Chains A and B, each alone.
Chain A
Amino acid sequence: MRRWVLTWIAPTSLALVIVSAGVAQQDPIKIGVIAPLSGPVAASGNYVRMGAEIARDWINARGGVHGRRVALLVEDNKSDPKEAAGAAEKLIARGQVPVLMGAWGSSMTLAAMPKLEEYGVPMVVETSSAASITKRGNPWVFRISPPSEMEALGLEKYLGALGIRQADFMAVNTDWGRGAVTAFGDMLRRHNAGIGAVEFMDQAATDMNAQLTKIRSAGGDTLFLTTSVEQITLVLKQAQELRVARRIITTGGSSSPSQLVKQAGAAAEDSYHIVFFMPWFPEAMPDPNLAKAFVDEWTRRGNPFEGLTEGFRGHDGIATIAEAIRIASRAEPQAIREALWKVSLMGLNGPIKFEKDGPAGRESGQSRPSIFLVQIKGGKAALPAFLRK
């Protein structure tokens, strides 16, 4: 009997003590942020966090929202869906946040979504690209990043100028990579372009020689590449070694051309990249002043320049949320959700306004982000020749 008591009471009391050291009463408006701060995509998660922090500081410098400061409660989802769900639970139930931003990777976001419905708390999705996120009939989801289909549409108008007749694909074996292959493949087929080889790589793979050798044999004129910046670096270098000579276009917006130039060097020359923010020429963005101010503040804080192509997502997410709270006049989940439908603001990427997406009666919100195409020329990011005025 005593052993029973010992083994049950001890751990539960330990738990009680630890967790009751918890939540203090606070005046600021709390916004929960779920991001991968550790694990394979830790760099991206941290860039998003840095962007979010700049947004928060700017909002507070302007007096906050209705006089109240904004505070960010950041949780690490460790690139694991189970952790993402746990982080959402913790932020909502313990942190009492009325709204969330997250969770970067599509599987993480999908895992957190049931919690949004369970507790009735809205979330602004800043990066995930899987189509299913806004199609699942979850009215608490509002996405400002483009699903792969929208990205493909964004590239469609340049197909003629690029002259793509036969394309091959290489993508990371995740929902993101596979979704991109489907979306861009469908778009190319609509224009009677041919699809050659379709190769996938494991998220942790470093040696893509086998896939590249197959692609070399397939002989297309363009290679679509969808994966993280580290793997893009490796693919570019290995493609150069194997003499896979063709136009390379990366999708997804996480390619960080500046980092590619640093790490892949000459192998990155002439490659194209779909991005959603162009820090090299902020004057070309829809709101040039905002873009320039963001780039300046980012560099002033000593954040790495390469992170800007991801960091802006954090800023736009928080800016959107703050605007919704302003419209709602109170930091309450249901009110914020209704207010999000009324948001119309200019973010770093461009105009943010949500349209209905998904099954009728339970629509999620999806904005129409701007899609940009840049090329690496002479070791620097530049607008492609056919886009320069």
Chain B
Amino acid sequence: MEAFLQHLLNGLLLGGTYALLGIGLTLIFGLRNVVYFAHGEFYTLGAYLTFAAASLLRVNFVLAIAVAILGGSLLGALCERVLLRPLRGESIDTTMLVMIGLWIATQNGELLAWGGVAKSIPHPFPTAPIVIGPVSVAPLRLFVLAAVLVLIAGSHVLIHRTRLGVAMRATFQDRETAALMGIDVGGIHTLTFAFGSGLAAAAGALLGPIFLVYPSMGDLAALKAFSVVILGGLGNFAGATLGGVILGIAEELGAGYVSSGYRDAVGFVIIILVLLVRPSGLFARAGRVG
């Protein structure tokens, strides 16, 4: 029983970060319907920016994370303006290939800049775990969970309670009408990308100190983000949050009780099953997909 509780707790903590990745991606994906491969790279970038700030510039830990989020957002906006906007009219595959090119270039650029050796990010939390009954958890992970909750809550407020959020949701639903209503659709695109990339960078910044930072860390994370998006439904904020948690717990329990080798298959199998059975996601209203 105690192993089960520990697995559950592990899954919850992991799921929170998957949720962050998923939320960012579901917004971007919902807007452009492009398989946005570069999302994983913003995750990696967030981690490297935090490393640079905390380790090289010796900035305060929380500030370092904030720097990473800001950096991620700015670069996301830049990416949208420079690469995606000129390709607005092109087919989905051309855009996707440009994203792939960006992915290859960025990852190898990071390899060039930082080298292949993984970096660890220094953090101010004690390493001795906190014991709560039968389960133990590192203080750093609790901080990450708290930060994730804050970010999710903040995002929710932004999307559902501000005018900007209304504009974003309107553009999702119907671009032409939104434009007719006077919304600056181009600006919304840029902002959505900035926001989504910022969240991805946040996930990387928060997970970087727990794990390690290396150039290919974003690959698997990106695929899991897609899994979360499918699970929760495209463009569905609450769906992505819940989806992230579900994926985290499913992976942990699968690895714990079925087989640790097939752990990453959980995300893939979820994608296949959900798309077979309920393509619009578990939490959206049913509808034709594609």
> In the complex, are there CB atoms of A and B closer than 8 Å?
yes
Residues of A within 8 A of B (CB): 38-43, 45-46, 173, 199-202, 204-207, 209-211, 213-214, 216-217, 230, 233-234, 237, 240-243, 259, 262-263, 265-267, 304, 306
Given the interface pairs A206-B217, A210-B255, A234-B212, the reply to whether A242 lies near B6 with Cβ below 8 Å is yes
In the bound complex, residues from chain A placing their C-beta under 8 Å from that of B219 are: 204
Interface pair B211/A199, CB less than 8 Å apart:
no
**Contact status B255-A211, CB under 8 Å:** yes
Q: Which of A38, A40, A173, A243 contacts B108 (CB 8 A)?
A: A38
The CA of A32 and the CA of B227, in the complex, are separated in Å by 43
Q: How many A-B residue pairs have CB under 8 A?
A: 97
Residues from 113 to 147 in B contacting A, C-beta threshold 8 Å: 115-118, 120, 127-129, 131, 136-138, 141
B220 pairs with A204, CB closer than 8 A: yes
The residue that A209 contacts in the complex, of B128, B220, B252, B264, with Cβ under 8 A, is: B252
18 contacts between A and B (CB under 8 A): A38-B108, A38-B111, A39-B216, A43-B115, A43-B116, A46-B115, A206-B212, A210-B10, A210-B251, A210-B260, A213-B10, A214-B3, A214-B260, A233-B118, A241-B138, A242-B129, A242-B136, A266-B127
CA distance A259 to B118 in the complex (A): 10
* Contact partner, A201, options B3, B252, B260, Cβ 8 Å: B260
CB-CB under 8 A from B251, the residues of chain A are: 210
Complex CA gap A191/B117 in Å reads: 38
Interface contact B7-A213, CB-CB below 8 Å: yes
| Residue B89 CB within 8 A of the other chain | no
Decide: B136 and A202 in contact? CB cutoff 8 A: no
**Contact A40 to B261, CB < 8 A, known contacts A213-B3, A241-B138, A243-B131:** no
By the criterion CB–CB under 8 Å, are B256 and A304 in contact?
no
- B residues 239-279 in Cβ contact with A at 8 Å: 251-252, 255-256, 260-261, 263-264
Q: How far is the CA of A304 from the CA of B117 in the complex (A)?
A: 10
**Chain A residues whose C-beta falls within 8 Å of the C-beta of B120 in the assembled complex:** 233, 262-263
B193 within 8 A of A: no
A43 and B117 in contact, given A242-B136, A266-B127 (Cβ under 8 angstroms): yes
Knowing that A240-B129, A243-B129 touch, tell me 5 more A-B residue pairs with CB under 8 angstroms. A38-B108, A42-B111, A209-B10, A243-B131, A263-B120
CA distance A237 to B7 in the complex (A): 17
Contact of B7 among A200, A210, A230 (CB under 8 A): A210
**In this complex, what residue of A is CB-closest to B131?**
A243
Question: Which chain A residue lies CB-closest to B260?
Answer: A211
Query: What chain A residues lie within 8 Å of B255 (beta carbons)?
Result: 210-211
By a CB distance below 8 angstroms, the chain A residues around B115 are: 42-43, 46
Asked whether B6 lies within 8 Å of A173 as measured between CB atoms, the reply is: no
Nearest CB to that of B211 among chain A residues? A206
CB pair B116–A210 under 8 Å, yes or no, is no
With A and B bound together, what is the CA distance between A85 and B260 in angstroms?
31
B172 within 8 A of A: no
Provide the bound-state CA to CA distance between A43 and B263, in Å.
26
**Main SS at interface, chain A:** helix
Chain A residues positioned under 8 Å from B256 (CB to CB) = 210, 213-214
Contacts of B217 in A (CB 8 A): 206
Neighbour of A205 across the interface among B214, B252, B263, CB < 8 A:
B263
Smallest beta-carbon distance B158→chain A, Å: 29
Name the residue among B115, B117, B141, B217 with the largest chain A CB count within 10 angstroms.
B117
Chain B residue contacts of A243, Cβ below 8 A: 129, 131, 136
Residue of B nearest to A244 (CB): B136
Which partner residue on chain A sits nearest B141 by CB separation?
Answer: A241
B203 at the interface (CB under 8 A from A): no
Q: Once the chains are docked, how many angstroms separate the CA of A190 from the CA of B210?
A: 39
The residue in chain A whose Cβ has the minimal distance to the Cβ of B4 is A213
Contact A241 to B216, CB < 8 A, known contacts A205-B263, A265-B127: no
CB 8 Å contact bits of B47-86 with A (1 = contact, 0 = none): 0000000000000000000000000000000000000000
Select which of B108, B138, B212, B260 is within 8 A of A233 by beta carbon: B212
State in angstroms the CA–CA spacing of A304 and B138 once bound together. Answer: 30
B222 cross-chain contacts in A, Cβ below 8 A: none
CB within 8 Å of A: which B188-244 residues: 211-212, 214, 216-217, 219-220
In order of increasing CB-CB distance, the 3 nearest A-B pairs are A42-B116, A210-B255, A43-B117
Decide: A240 near B212, CB < 8 A? Known: A204-B220, A213-B6, A304-B117.
Answer: no
Q: Are B263 and A202 in contact (CB under 8 A)?
A: yes
A173 cross-chain contacts in B, Cβ below 8 A: 261
B227 to chain A, nearest CB (A): 15
Q: Which residues of B contact A265 (CB under 8 A)?
A: 127
Instruction: Give the residues in chain A near B252, CB-CB below 8 Å.
Output: 209-210
A204 and B127 within 8 A (CB):
no
Q: In the complex, what residue of chain B is closest to A307 when comparing beta carbons? A: B117
Residue B14 lies at the interface, judged by CB distance under 8 Å to chain A = yes
A199 touches B111 (CB 8 A): no
